[in-house]
Amino acid sequence: MADAADQSQKLQWNWVGITFGMYVVFYLLPILVAGEVFGNFTIGMKGAVFIGAWSFGGAIILSAISGFLSKGITILEPAIAGVGLVVLWFIAYRVFIARYSEASILLDVPYLIGILVSIFLLSLLGAWYGERAQKMWRSKPPE
């Protein structure tokens, strides 16, 4: 019994990695495809609406899925993965896109910190929802 309580108190790095992978595949790639980053760097109205909605909702949904699927309490793990995703995006943006456009001025330090805090908080909220759903749906006795 003490092992289970001790396990829930530790940071589960495997879920940081799993959630990071989920963010890359199901969060970042759809945004890149919708924004036509692989093409001419322009987005239409439908792409802009999708990117705006998924930037906000995707962080909550994917971290909720991660919190629901994991064993034990994993609220901080999706938030750490979200911060890692923002750092990866910032580095990739600087390397691949900013050198071809004038938009590199937009990603200064306060803007980056704002994005980091936003994704961290949205991921915490989503993971909390996932843990609540896990507690509510998985604790019902089998009929």
Residues in the chain: 143
139 occurs within a structural domain: no
For residue 95, the model assigns a pLDDT of: 72
1 occurs within a structural domain: no
55 occurs within a structural domain: yes
Distance CA 29, CA 3 (A): 38
For residue 2, the model assigns a pLDDT of: 45
115 occurs within a structural domain: yes
For residue 43, the model assigns a pLDDT of: 61
142 occurs within a structural domain: no
Q: Is 135 exposed, middle or buried (0-12, 13-18, 19+ CB in 10 A)?
A: exposed
Tokens of 7: 């396990």
3 occurs within a structural domain: no
Provide the number of structural domains found in the chain. Answer: 1
pTM (2 d.p.): 0.79
Full domain range(s) for residue 23: 13-134
83 occurs within a structural domain: yes
**Alpha helices by DSSP H, 1-142:** 2-9, 13-23, 29-34, 45-69, 76-92, 109-138
120 occurs within a structural domain: yes
What are the mean pLDDT values of the chain's consecutive 10-residue runs (143 residues total)?
A: 52 94 92 64 68 90 94 92 92 70 62 92 96 84 58
For residue 100, the model assigns a pLDDT of: 61
For residue 98, the model assigns a pLDDT of: 61
